[in-house]
Amino acid sequence: MMNVGYMRETTPLLSASMRADEDRYYMGQDKMSLLNTPESGLSTVEAARRLKQFGPNELDNKDKSPLTKLFCQFRTSTAILLWVAIGVEILMADVPDTAALLFLQVIQGIVGWLEALKAENAVAALKASLKPEAQVIRDGVHQTINAALLVPGDRVTLSAGCAVPADCDLCDGNPILVDQAMFTGETFPTIFAAGDTVKMGTLVTQGDVEAIVSATGSQTFLGKVLPSMPATYKQEDGLFRPMLLQITIIFSVVAMIFVSLCLGCLLYHGHATLDAIGFSVLLFLASVPLSSSQVVSSSLALGSRQLAEEKILVTHITAIERLASLSLLLCDKTGSLTRNKMELQDDLPIYAPGTSREDVLVMAALASKWKEPPKDAIDTLVLNAIDLRPLDSYTLVSHRPLDSKRTESTIKRPNGATFKVTKGAPHVILGLTQNGDSIREAVESKVLELAKRGVRSIAVARTEDHGWIFMGLLTFVDPPRHDTKRTLELLHEHGVVVKMITGDHQAIAVETCRQLHLGPVVLTPPNFIEHPEFLEAADGFAQMDPASKVKVVQLAQADGYVCGITGHTETAPLRQASVGIAIDGATDAAKAAADVVLTKAGLSVFI
């Protein structure tokens, strides 16, 4: 994480330098006219022209030069020992031994340098394969493109779960919540409204809005800060290196005792002091595992390439060490244990008189951004279930993902009249609607019945003259993957405890655990928070929000587990875990927060 105090001290200076550079960046063009992009976005031709003018949306690499890295190889603790030995041999005027030690020093440094470069290049190649994407409007069409191709003036869509791909000025619309922890150190998201600028690299945690790209690449706030920022990023230690250090210390202490005895004997028997010291130093060097660090680095680099062939990408080398030591895996149900391919069921309970199945599906589609690519599995199913052409007569006035449990849209009819539609968790929609009290018992009974069969339900409502009306329930099923049960058995054989963790209803979680033979004990947040001792006995966790998932990870780590967690949208649990695992299809934000990224569906890639 960035040093917050440093940021506060340097931000005014950076802001002044940014203002000074702005004229050079826009090359004399008027910034307001350059960023005054119509709702249809830039044309493909104009975007290509600006890409040539401003360059790709990529940050300058702040890494040390290869020569600097080579020089660093001669300042390690191992190298210092060799320098001491070389110094002794020089004092003794022993040319052959001095030359031999110098040759060993050079070879050791070059080998260590080459292995370090191999390891860094392997991780860099894996990171390059995780190309961040951006939702952009060009030629009036919503497109998904490589974020490196964004240019100033591009109109982009920012939604919950995405990483902000460049510095962007928010357009008119509802406020969004943005996680700026990388800049401010604050754990709570910040509210941004129309006209505000969100910075490249921050994460949208809630909301959905269009924005205009105002700066790209090295001209963004992050690009300006990065070159002058001290190296204060958190570097998590692997598990092998501390163990290797302990072994090296033990060998060194034993060698030191033995060499001291040998030196005493040599001096006692009248050998020349310099000769005795030179022999003792060489004996000490021969007794200490000098190349162990290079061997580990080389092995981990090779491991990263082998994992990549198995569709497992590691974002940094030490993640392999922790992955090998994993003792507890918290598996997100959707996408990890199940197929993450929802199937819309024919069972669609209706609770509003005169409403048909088609009416409920149309209102559910209107509660989505039906003219844009769907952003989740449920929207995909709904939009594919009906003919969208009749919806062209409606106009989307506004769309708000109010929270993770409900979305709401304001719709204009062809005659100009407006109404609202919403879809979300049944218990949330029941509390919103006028007819909720009269149908509550029937709805809750149906939801529980469906959940016991592993069927998920989403409620749909719309406004009429006197308020919200609960229309009906959409029902979905996300069956377990065919290979999940065997994968869980193999993980257990390898000593990894597996527990399911999901935001779904407890009854759905219990049924999924039953199908996968995980066990019947599924806890919800009040249970394990009030009684953390229940954690060990739990087979799974249900109705979990991100904060609750983080709490489970913390409790597991406090119990001594090397804890991993899988996920596809939420970043906080992935950061907290010893090994954060972003599953196939995860958001860019989740991939950025993870230690490991799976590029193949399911967990079978681990085995």
Q: What is the mean pLDDT of residues 126-144?
A: 79
CATH number of the domain residue 463 falls in: 3.40.1110.10
Average pLDDT for 343-359? 88
Q: Give the DSSP H/E element, type plus range, for residue 297.
A: helix 292-309
**Sorting pLDDT into bands at 50, 70 and 90, what band is 566?**
very high
Q: What is the pLDDT of residue 217?
A: 87
Does residue 162 share a domain with residue 183? yes
CB count within 10 Å of CB 500 equals 26
Choosing from 477, 499, 531, the residue where a domain stops is: 477
pLDDT band of residue 394 (cuts 50, 70, 90) is very high
Which structural domain range is residue 530 located in? 326-340+480-606
Q: Are residues 455 and 492 in the same domain?
A: no
Closest CA to 47 of 138, 125, 124: 138
450 and 541 inside one domain: no
Do 587 and 485 lie in a common domain?
yes
pLDDT at 30: 58
CA-to-CA distance for 109 and 115, rounded, in angstroms?
10
pLDDT given at position 452: 83
If asked whether residues 349 and 466 sit together in one domain, one would say yes
| Span 197-245, pLDDT tens digits | 999 888 887 788 899 999 998 888 888 776 554 443 334 455 666 777 7
Decide if pLDDT at 296 tops 80: no
139 vs 43: CA distance, rounded Å: 5
The residues, ordered by sequence, that sit 6+ positions from 138 with a Cβ below 8 Å of its Cβ are 41, 42, 43, 44, 47, 154
In a domain, 493, yes or no: yes
In the predicted structure, residue 287 carries a pLDDT above the cut 50? yes
Higher local confidence (pLDDT), 287 or 360:
360
> How high is the pLDDT of residue 125?
58
The more confident residue out of 364 and 111 is: 364
**Has residue 473 got a pLDDT over 90?**
yes
State the Cα–Cα distance between residues 367 and 399, nearest whole angstrom.
8
The arithmetic mean of pLDDT across residues 243-248, rounded, is: 74
Q: Which of 431, 462, 477 is the last residue of a domain?
A: 477
Higher per-residue confidence, 33 vs 209: 209
In a domain, residue 121? The reply is no
In a domain, 470, yes or no: yes
- What is the count of structural domains for the chain? 3
Task: Say if residue 172's pLDDT is above 80.
Answer: yes
Same domain, 347 and 487: no
Burial zone of 161 (CB within 10 Å; 0-12 exposed, 13-18 middle, 19+ buried): buried
For residue 66, pLDDT over 80 is answered with no
> What are the strands of the beta sheet with 208-215, ordered from one edge?
141-146, 133-138, 155-159, 208-215, 167-170, 197-198
Mean pLDDT across the chain: 81
The C-alpha atoms of residue 166 and residue 221 are separated, in whole angstroms, by: 9
Looking at the structure, tell me whether residues 402 and 543 fall in a common domain.
no
Q: Residue 338's beta-bridge partner residues?
A: 480
Judged by average pLDDT, the poorest of 157-171, 277-291, 455-469, 525-539 is 277-291
Rounded CA-CA distance 431/423 in Å is 13
Task: Please say if the pLDDT value at position 19 is more than 70.
Answer: no
Of 584, 580, 586, which Cα lies nearest the Cα of 564? 580
Residue 300 in domain? no
On whether residue 449 sits in a domain, the answer given is yes
Local structure of residue 163 (DSSP, 8 states)? B
Percent of the chain having pLDDT more than 90? 20
Residue 517 lies in a domain: yes
**Whether the model pTM is above 0.85:** no
Q: Which residues are catalytic?
A: 332
Let me know if residue 288 belongs to a domain: no
Last residue of a domain, one of 196, 224, 252: 224
Domain match, 440 and 558 both: no
What are the backbone dihedrals phi and psi of residue 43, each rounded to the nearest 5 degrees, phi first?
-80, 160
Are 169 and 23 in the same domain?
A: yes
446 plus 550 within the same structural domain: no
C-beta neighbour count of 226 within 10 angstroms? 16
Per-residue exposure over 237-266, b if at least 16 CB sit within 10 Å of its own CB, e if not: ebbbbeebeeebeeebeebeeebeeebeeb
Residues 550 and 602 in one domain: yes
Read off the CATH number of the domain in which 571 is found.
Answer: 3.40.50.1000
Q: Is residue 181 part of a domain?
A: yes
Same domain membership, residue 494 and residue 541 = yes
Name the least confident of 269-283, 336-350, 451-465, 558-572.
269-283
- Determine the Cα–Cα distance for residues 81 and 83; give it in Å rounded to an integer: 5
The CATH number covering residue 162 comes to: 2.70.150.10
375 vs 599, which has greater pLDDT? 599
Predicted confidence (pLDDT) at residue 11 exceeds the cutoff of 60: no
Cβ-proximal residues to 307 (8 Å cutoff; 6+ apart), any chain: 313, 314, 320
